[in-house]
A and B are shown apart, each in its own frame.
Chain A
Amino acid sequence: MKQQKYDVAVIGAGMGGLCAAALLVHHGYRTLVVEKLPFVGGRASSFSYKGFTLPTGSLYVETGGVVEGIFKEVGADFPVRPFPIDLCFRIGGKDYVMAKKGGLRGLISNFASEKETQSVMAALRRAFAWNEPSASISIRDWLLQYTQNDKVLAVFRGLSTYQCVNFCDMPASEFVRQLKLGGGATAGAPPQGFLELMNQLVKAIEAKGSRVWTGCRAKRIIAEEGMTKGIVIERGADQIEIAANAVISDVGPHQTVDLSGRGNFEKGYLKELREKVLPLSYIGLAISSNSPLVDFRGVTFLPEGRRQVSVMCTSLVYPEYAPQERHLLQAWATPDSSFLPLDPKKEIDMVVQDLREAIPRFDREAEILHVSYWQKDWPMYRALPGAISQKTPVENLYNVGDGVAPLVPLGLPGCAQSARIVVDDIKQQMKPGAA
């Protein structure tokens, strides 16, 4: 078998893997990234389809936060244009736009008495300022202690769609934390698609002599006597042993175990994985039309349907995503259960029925371009933030990505932050050039 040496080997070129590699390279570590797919970015990438630019997962990225901070630090361009975080709730057939300040109170007061509004807002204020609610209760059940009003509950159901988790499955603690973190956050999307954004990290990595190999499968993580020594990869017809002082896996904690061999992991760790690293299911539809099916330039929630659905006419903000004189409506929905594999046919039928009822011109103009499900081994999130540590019981073997995101906003910032934590640890453990 051929052999090569790097300081660090990274498996998977998603946001976590590429951020980790770019930071390592920036600090002088010779790094190899291997990616099984023919393109980089994982669920933070994009592709062209019938003239449209469609996402593999992420639709927007936080600006001015940890992701942009890493891009700047490693000298990568961050070609992201602002995204309007304006939220509209279509409730009872009418649109309610959430005000930037005092928006939640204003929204609730449309449907509830002053006393009921006060009860909900006081509970939220306590949850924000004093003590988070329990993780043992869903946000729906937590709210039911303060209101039974269906329209008020619909507002929160909409907000949990934004957090990509079913209202009945979202732990109350997590909902409150995300709501708090989301306040005042800004976001954007790359007009040329997420692949273009992620390619900027590849450029930064390769500019300093490190490598990103796509279409290259990791066959095995070499773990011996409680320590990792590198990985074995398949590149074309070759099997290559990559000796490395540290290995970072961005393919999810469960697959990290499979690649290393279960026998290398402590029983308690494996139990934690089973209990806490649970993939979340989600549904996405790309819909084309001749004119915008929704005129609002931000996100519109349809929180009273069979499923939790939100829509945005992304071509209004990013005309680059659609061919000339065509529009792209993107719809996202949480299935009946976030933590179980979904029944694709049933779920999509429910979402389409919701769209037909909520969008007047849907039947006449909409053409469903593409349907995506995220579940099981390619989920919306591999786990809710804070599930487990980035370090594994195998020395110098780390996980990054959404399975090991710390308590920061869901999604890409969590992936990027996990990468920063891992790189900071590697900097403590070993010097560049030790390989």
Chain B
Amino acid sequence: MIQKRKCVVLVVNEDRCVGCGLCISFCPSEALAAWGVCAIDKERCTDCLICVDYCPVDALEMTEESTK
């Protein structure tokens, strides 16, 4: 039987993001980039969530996503 489980996914709230670049500066995996609002490279992101703490406008959000 395949069981559904929840996992944490990091998303950028584009309405809130101002593009200050602080999250990029503190990301240990270089998984964030910005040439506008910030974007997450899902391949590099390790879900350490350090960027969430460094965002001054709470634009990086953790959402729970169902996976199979």
Contacts and interface: CB of A to CB of B under 8 A. Distances in A.
A278 to B, nearest CB: 15
Interface in B1-39: 16, 18-22, 24-26, 34-37
Interface range on chain B (Cβ under 8 Å from partner): 10 to 19
Contact of B19 (A36, A42, A215, A375): A375
A372 interface: yes
A370 B21 CA distance: 7
Nearest to A281: B18
Contacts, number: 54
A373 B25 contact: no
Given A344-B35, A348-B35, A377 B18 contact: yes
Interface range on chain A (Cβ under 8 Å from partner): 20 to 34
A49 B23 CA distance: 11
Given A344-B35, A344-B37, A345-B36, A373 B20 contact: yes
B65 interface: no
Contacts of A49: 25
A54 interface: yes
A372 B36 contact: no
B19 A373 contact: yes
Contacts of B37: 344
A348 B34 CA distance: 11
A196 B1 CA distance: 57
Interface in A22-77: 36-38, 42, 47, 49, 54, 56
Contacts of B21: 370-373
A345 B14 CA distance: 13
Contacts of B34: 344, 371
A40 to B, nearest CB: 13
